[in-house]
Chain A
Amino acid sequence: GAVVSQHPSRVICKSGTSVKIECRSLDFQATTMFWYRQFPKKSLMLMATSNEGSKATYEQGVEKDKFLINHASLTLSTLTVTSAHPEDSSFYICSARPGTGWSVAPLHFGNGTRLTVT
Chain B
Amino acid sequence: AQSVTQLDSQVPVFEEAPVELRCNYSSSVSVYLFWYVQYPNQGLQLLLKYLSGSTLVESINGFEAEFNKSQTSFHLRKPSVHISDTAEYFCAVSASGGYQKVTFGTGTKLQVIP
Q: How far is the CB of B10 from chain A (nearest CB, A)?
A: 10
A112: B residues at CB distance < 8 A: 41-43
| Interface of chain B: mostly helix, strand, loop or mixed | loop
Establish whether residues B43 and A42, one from each chain, have CB atoms under 8 Å apart when the complex forms. no
29 contacts between A and B (CB under 8 A): A4-B43, A9-B41, A41-B107, A42-B106, A43-B90, A43-B104, A43-B106, A43-B107, A46-B101, A46-B102, A93-B44, A95-B43, A102-B98, A102-B99, A103-B98, A103-B99, A104-B32, A104-B51, A104-B98, A106-B34, A106-B49, A107-B34, A107-B44, A107-B102, A109-B36, A111-B42, A112-B41, A112-B42, A114-B41
Inter-subunit contact B102/A108 (CB<8 Å): no
Binding site for B on A (CB under 8 A): 4, 6, 9, 32, 34, 41-44, 46, 49, 93, 95, 97, 99, 101-104, 106-112, 114
A107 touching B90 by the CB < 8 A rule?
A: no
Interface string of B19-59 (1 = CB under 8 A from A): 00000000000001010100001111110010100000000
A102 to B96, CA, bound (A): 11
Q: Which residues of A contact B44 (CB under 8 A)?
A: 44, 93, 95, 107, 109
Residues of B within 8 A of A95 (CB): 43-44
Cα–Cα, bound, A4→B45 (Å): 11
Known: A32-B99, A43-B106, A49-B101. A106 touches B41 (CB 8 A): no
The 7 residue pairs across chains A and B that have the minimum distance between CB atoms? A102-B98, A109-B43, A109-B44, A43-B106, A111-B43, A43-B104, A44-B104
Residue of A nearest to B6 (CB): A43
Known contacts A41-B9, A42-B106, A43-B90, A107 near B99 by CB under 8 Å: no
User: Given the complex of chains A and B, what is the CA–CA distance between A101 and B99 in angstroms?
Assistant: 9
Q: Which residues of A contact B99 (CB under 8 A)?
A: 32, 97, 102-103
